[in-house]
């Protein structure tokens, strides 16, 4: 049984979540808490396997409580809050501190939890298997990185230009911060990323990474031109593909049906990268649950591109990297601290 502590200042919300878990055979709610301070006391008393945490609460908010819990008693936490959808910045902060994942409530009455019931249960089951100590301790700084040669290519014009495609899900925001913030501004290629996130959150993620990085990071827009020194993150609820058009390489967005429950999905991006760049493509698969990205990495490998997977030792959830590795199509398996160095070594 997965022992759950439900933390929310709303009596109604605590009841909804408690009933949700009570209807499952593998969950048991050990108690509820009405604010962050109450939560910290009950974490020490009940030692839950999992915590669902609201963001905005009286006495002590969810962000401060999460910070203290990860320092004193690291426990898997899934953020579930009426603020999460509008407060994407707060959600990203929670993920940076150590929350495993989050669920954004749908628009409308707070009681509309039935619309996200499956998502809550799926993410909570994945969270209890997460590498929570990795989230609590953070990541060490990697050693010196290879120097980049001077760029000569024009935006989207050089047909021999390289590209890096990255796919990730649960634990991805922290992993991406570890990688992207170490990339030099003169990297001689563009980078495209699919991070499983709903609308609104991908824009906040791009803005956060842009503020911390030497490269330019933005949420991708339809017909954006791939260019060196730019990182494009697929917007929530849109698949992102790469195509040649008029001598340039451009981004194409669509709302085709979700793949494996995901939109954006990693596989279609990487498959389009394999078609467009062939052996010049570098595919990277990071932490996340499920198998999204394995077929895409395989497509890049079939075109003699270079493929990298995050090592189990640092992956918050080892599903996506494991699926790609099991296909036998990964050239290099490295901890997250070594991913940037491996990318730059191949490029240089």
Task: Determine the average pLDDT of the residues in 194-223.
Answer: 96
The predicted-structure confidence for 259-291, as pLDDT tens digits, reads as follows 999 999 999 999 999 999 999 999 999 999 999
Count other Cβ atoms within 10 Å, centred on residue 25: 6
Contact 83, 61 (CB under 8 A): no
Task: Determine the average pLDDT of the residues in 302-316.
Answer: 97
Look at residue 108 in the predicted model and tell me its pLDDT.
Answer: 53
With residue 254 as reference, give the H or E element that holds it.
strand 248-254
Is the pLDDT higher at 56 or at 238? 238
Look at residue 106 in the predicted model and tell me its pLDDT.
Answer: 66
Distance between CA atoms of residues 104 and 64, nearest Å: 19
Task: Determine the average pLDDT of the residues in 11-16.
Answer: 91
Look at residue 64 in the predicted model and tell me its pLDDT.
Answer: 96
Catalytic residue among 9, 196, 213, 267: 196
Structural tokens at position 235: 């917007």
CA 174 to chain centre: 7
3-state secondary structure string across 205-232: HHHHHHHHCCCEEEECCCCCECCCCEEE
Place of tokens 């570890």: 178
Catalytic residue among 9, 81, 169, 213: 169
Contact 167, 287 (CB under 8 A): no
Look at residue 143 in the predicted model and tell me its pLDDT.
Answer: 47
Is the pLDDT higher at 149 or at 157? 149
The predicted-structure confidence for 223-235, as pLDDT tens digits, reads as follows 999 999 999 999 9
Quick check: is 196 catalytic?
yes
Quick check: is 111 catalytic?
no
Quick check: is 292 catalytic?
yes
Q: What is the DSSP letter of 151?
A: P
Q: What is the largest CA-CA distance in the chain?
A: 64
Q: What is the DSSP letter of 144?
A: P
Look at residue 157 in the predicted model and tell me its pLDDT.
Answer: 42
For residue 264, whether the previous peptide bond is cis, meaning omega lies within 30 degrees of 0, is yes
């Amino acid at each position: 049984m997965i022992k759950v502590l439900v933390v929310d200042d709303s009596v109604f919300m605590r009841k909804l979540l408690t009933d949700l878990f009570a209807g499952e055979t593998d969950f048991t709610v050990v108690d509820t808490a009405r604010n962050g301070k109450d939560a910290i006391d009950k974490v020490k008393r009940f030692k839950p396997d999992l915590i669902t945490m609201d963001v905005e609460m009286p006495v002590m908010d969810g962000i401060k409580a999460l910070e203290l819990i990860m320092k004193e008693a690291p426990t898997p936490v899934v953020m579930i809050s009426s603020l999460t959808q509008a407060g994407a910045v707060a959600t990203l902060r929670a993920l940076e501190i150590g929350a495993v994942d989050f669920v954004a409530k749908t628009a409308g009455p707070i009681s509309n939890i039935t619309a996200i019931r499956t998502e809550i249960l799926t993410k909570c089951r994945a969270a209890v298997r997460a590498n929570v100590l990795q989230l609590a301790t953070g990541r060490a700084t990697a050693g010196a990185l290879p120097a980049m040669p001077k760029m000569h290519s024009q935006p989207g014009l050089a047909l021999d230009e390289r590209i890096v495609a990255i796919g990730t899900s649960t634990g991805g925001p922290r992993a991406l911060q570890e990688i992207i913030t170490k990339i030099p501004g003169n990297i001689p290629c563009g980078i495209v990323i699919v991070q499983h996130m709903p609308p609104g959150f991908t824009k906040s993620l791009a803005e956060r990474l842009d503020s911390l990085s030497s490269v330019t990071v933005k949420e991708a827009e339809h017909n954006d031109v791939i260019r060196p020194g730019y990182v494009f993150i697929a917007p929530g609820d849109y698949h992102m593909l790469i195509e040649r058009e008029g001598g340039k390489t451009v981004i194409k967005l669509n709302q085709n049906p979700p793949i494996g429950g995901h939109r954006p999905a990693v596989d279609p991006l990487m498959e389009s990268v394999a078609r467009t760049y062939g052996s010049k493509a570098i595919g990277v698969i990071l932490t996340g649950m499920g198998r999204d990205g394995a077929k895409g990495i395989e497509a890049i490998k079939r075109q003699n591109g270079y493929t990298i997977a995050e090592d189990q030792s640092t992956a918050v959830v080892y599903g996506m990297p494991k699926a790609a590795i099991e296909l036998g199509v990964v050239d290099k398996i490295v901890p997250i601290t070594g991913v940037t160095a491996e990318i730059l070594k191949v490029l240089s």
